[in-house]
Chains A and B, each alone.
Chain A
Amino acid sequence: MENSSLNRKFDRILALENAGKLKASSGNRALSKFYNNRLAVFGLIVFSIILLTAVFAPLLTSHDPLKINLRNIAQSPSWEHWFGTDRTGRDVFSRVLYGGRISILVGLGSALMAAVIGVAIGAYTGFKGGWIDVIALRISEIFMSFPQIILVLMLVSIAGQSLFNLIFIFVLTGWGAMYRMTRARMLSLREEEYVQALQSFGLSTATICYKHILPNALGPIMVNITLSTAAFILAEAGLSFLGLGVPLNLPTWGNILNVAQEIRVLQNFWWMWLPVGLVISLFVLSVNFIGDGLRDATDPSQQG
């Protein structure tokens, strides 16, 4: 069965090739490969939709996510309140939209910052080598031997709960992975001839790192950013669900989900937690699909 479908595919390609219809794809090969990956494109679309609805939240809903309305408590979904209202009468739909702003900010922002820091340290120390490399490596090892959630919670208990602290802690716990990847690439690239040639031309270490080596590592870096965005969004949701993430007065996806800790809410008021849970899942799913698509598109050993 598999054979016949493959054979059909081959016949199709062969016919096109004979007709001279297949040209060497002009644009970027990685890009065209990404666009040919159905799941990745699906991810990109879902990601953009959720991102845009969060960014343009004020245009999409007239409800204030923070406005308590005690006459309108725990309403089930209606035309007025698409996802109903919560136990203090706040509109859940607008909370999900506005919550997306903070959750995505935390996820994407922490991932980007962790990437910048990790790549900078990894590129520099990996290229320099010597004691500075050893120290950076040991520090990253220490951070990485803690299970992430334990380290985050420990730091939360010391630093206290705030949006800024949470991002800071995520960056602190997240830079290690990126650092290690960059460092590993740097070590192997350092040995390559063109880099050694550049060095003998007297280019400075920093210039070589950032101008000549990093562009080569862009694929894996982007993949890593998507993966850590997904991880941080999940972590924010988990922490806020536990009541230990972003302070409860700010709407975030995790904070909205927080109410489901109560069995009564879980059982009777599905609209307060089910939609937001689905939105988180969908968003993380889309980010992961994008990450997978990027990996396949940028990995030269992959053929399809």
Chain B
Amino acid sequence: METDHNIALSVKNLKTYFYTNNRCNRAVNGVSFDIEKGKTLCIVGESGCGKSVTASTIMQLLPRLSRIEEGSITYHSDAGDIDIENLERNGQKMRAIRGSEIAMIFQDPMTALNPVYTIGFQIGESLKYHTDLTRKQIRDKTIDLLRDMGISLPEQRIDEYPHQYSGGMRQRAMIAMAMSCNPKILIADEPTTALDVTIQAQIFELMDRLKEKHNTAIMLITHDMGVVAELADDVAVMYMGNIVEAGTIDEVLRTPTHPYTRALLDSIPVLGEGKNQIIEPIPGSTPDPYQRPKGCQFAPRCTHYSEQCDIMPAETQISETHRIMCWKYQEFATNGK
């Protein structure tokens, strides 16, 4: 966790709250993690646990009625560390980072692309603001990017509109846009949820290849444990605004320690284990974000609940890379699975 030259971004005790409808929603309530160069960090968790909000906070793309309450987001750029949380939301310094140092791809490539501009125009915009290329060079570079992403006939496709692309191609175009300025960090928020399975595999393969080639740090948000097993180097499990367990992929998938992680893994069929697996849905449902439990957020649904759990547990390192947020970790850690 110490300042390591391989770390691209470190997030410490980050809190982001929403203030819509005159209520306060503690969407992200103290998360810490590092993203390493050339590695993929997967963030998993149930819907509404704050994955997307964490991602938008890093990019300062939060809606108007929300703010960063506490914590730090430090981007370790080549030219020194930058504290993103202190930058003005849409100020010049933040803009210089967006798209060029940290880029993002979104869940639904249909709505994420502007329907009235050509793909080429939208990719070129990024290059126009972050490089000194001429129009001609931008166009050539865009064609190269599209070709790299595996789009055939890029010379023609560059002048087409998003609705003329298929879903998979649109996501490739989004990736081309994100990768256009060789960002150090790529944030992908469920990039394949809107696509069908074969296309999903292709997109992930593409991302993996780009990671190898450019040593990009990837933060991948997903629901799909199969994808995690396939792509992740590190995993962070989120529940109701906290990272309840984090570690390397082996640690989290092989020795899951937090009751929530275990419940989560038990609730998902694992590919290749046949149809005789026991699948147990997590009991209860996610609490109303406005009526969060006082202590451990998982306590009301946890089978190991005791009074201690009404106080928020701290993060505990159980190995150098593996940490969890649970009072009873010792029990689980020793019992194993």
Residues of A within 8 A of B (CB): 6-7, 9-10, 13-14, 16-17, 22, 24, 36, 303-304
Asked if B337 is an interface residue, CB under 8 A from chain A, the answer is: no
Instruction: Assess the A13–B64 pair: CB atoms within 8 A.
Output: no
| B239 located at the interface, meaning its Cβ lies under 8 Å from any Cβ of chain A in the complex | no
**Sample of 18 A–B contacts (CB below 8 Å):** A6-B64, A6-B65, A9-B19, A10-B19, A10-B24, A10-B67, A13-B23, A13-B24, A14-B17, A14-B19, A16-B24, A17-B24, A22-B22, A22-B23, A22-B290, A24-B288, A24-B290, A24-B291
Which of the residues B19, B288, B291 comes within 8 Å of A13, measured between beta carbons?
B19
Decide if B20 is an interface residue (CB 8 Å cutoff): yes
Residues 61 to 80 of chain B near chain A (Cβ within 8 Å): 64-65, 67, 69
Q: Nearest-CB distance from A80 to chain B (Å)? A: 51
Q: A7-B67, A10-B24, A22-B23 are in contact. List 6 more A-B contacts (CB 8 A).
A: A14-B24, A22-B22, A24-B290, A36-B22, A303-B65, A304-B21
Chain B residues with Cβ below 8 Å from A36 are 22
Within 8 A of A (CB), among B53-104: 64-65, 67, 69
Among A17, A22, A36, A304, chain B packs the most CB atoms within 10 A around the CB of A17
Which one of B23, B64, B67, B288 contacts A17 once the chains associate, using CB atoms below 8 Å? B23
Within 8 A of A (CB), among B279-316: 288, 290-291
Interface of A is mostly: helix
Chain B residues whose C-beta falls within 8 Å of the C-beta of A303 in the assembled complex = 20-21, 65
Q: Distance (Å) between the CB of B18 and the closest chain A CB?
A: 10
Q: Chain A residue with minimal CB distance to B22? A: A13
Per-residue interface assignment for chain B, residues 250 to 285, with 1 indicating a CB less than 8 Å from any chain A CB and 0 otherwise: 000000000000000000000000000000000000
- Tell me, in angstroms, the Cα distance from A24 to B288 when the chains sit together: 10
A6 / chain B contacts, CB cutoff of 8 Å: 64-65, 67
With a cutoff of 8 Å between Cβ atoms, the chain B residues found around residue A13 in the complex are 19, 22-24
Q: Is the interface of B mostly helix, strand, loop or mixed?
A: loop
Distance, CA A13 to CA B69, complexed state (A): 13
Closest B residue to A304 by beta carbon equals B21
The answer for the CA separation of A43 and B22 in the assembled complex, in Å, is 23
In the bound complex, do residue B64 and residue A304 qualify as a contact, i.e. CB atoms below 8 Å apart?
A: no
For residue A304, give the distance in angstroms from its CB to the closest CB of chain B: 7
CA distance A13 to B17 in the complex (A): 11
User: A304: which of B20, B24, B69, B288 is its contact (CB, 8 Å)?
Assistant: B20
Chain B: residues with Cβ within 8 Å of the partner, total of: 14
Query: Nearest residue in A to B26 (C-beta to C-beta)?
Result: A17
Complex Cα gap A133–B19 (Å)? 45
Query: A162 to B227, alpha carbons, bound, how many Å?
Result: 74
Q: Looking across the interface, which residue of chain A has its beta carbon closest to that of B21?
A: A303
Task: Give Cα A24–Cα B21 distance, bound, in whole angstroms.
Answer: 11
CA distance A109 to B19 in the complex (A): 42
Top 8 A-B residue pairs of the complex, sorted by shortest distance between their CB atoms: A17-B24, A303-B20, A10-B19, A13-B24, A14-B24, A13-B19, A22-B23, A10-B67
In the assembly, what is the distance between CA of A200 and CA of B290, in Å?
38
Measured CA separation A53–B24 after assembly (Å): 43
Q: Which residues of B contact A10 (CB under 8 A)?
A: 17, 19, 24, 67
- Complex Cα distance, B17 from A7, in Å, reads 12
Using a CB-CB cutoff of 8 Å, which residues 4-30 of chain B contact chain A?
Answer: 17, 19-24
Instruction: Tell me how far the C-beta of B333 lies from the nearest C-beta in chain A, rounded to whole angstroms.
Output: 34
List of A residues within 8 angstroms of B288 by Cβ: 24
A50 to chain B, nearest CB (A): 31
Write out the residue numbers on chain B whose beta carbons fall within 8 Å of the beta carbon of A24: 288, 290-291
What is the minimal beta-carbon distance from B273 to any residue of chain A, in angstroms? 33
CA distance A303 to B21 in the complex (A): 6
B141-160 CB contacts (< 8 Å) to partner A: none
Q: Which residues of A contact B69 (CB under 8 A)?
A: 14
B65 neighbours in A (Cβ, 8 Å)? 6, 303
A22:B67 contact, CB within 8 angstroms: no
Q: How far is the CA of A41 from the CA of B20 in the complex (A)?
A: 21
Q: Which residue of A lies closest to B25 (CB)?
A: A17
Distance in angstroms from B51 CB to nearest chain A CB is 21
Taking CB atoms, residues of chain B closer than 8 Å to A17 are 23-24
CA distance A6 to B288 in the complex (A): 25
Bound: A10/B288 CA distance, A: 20
Smallest CB-CB separation from B89: which chain A residue?
Answer: A3
Shortest CB distance B180–A (Å)? 31
Question: Closest residue to B20 on the A side, CB-wise?
Answer: A303
Residues of chain B with a CB closer than 8 A to A7's CB = 67
CB distance from A186 to the nearest CB of B (A): 26
Q: How far is the CA of A14 from the CA of B70 in the complex (A)?
A: 13
A9 partner residues in chain B, CB cutoff 8 A: 19
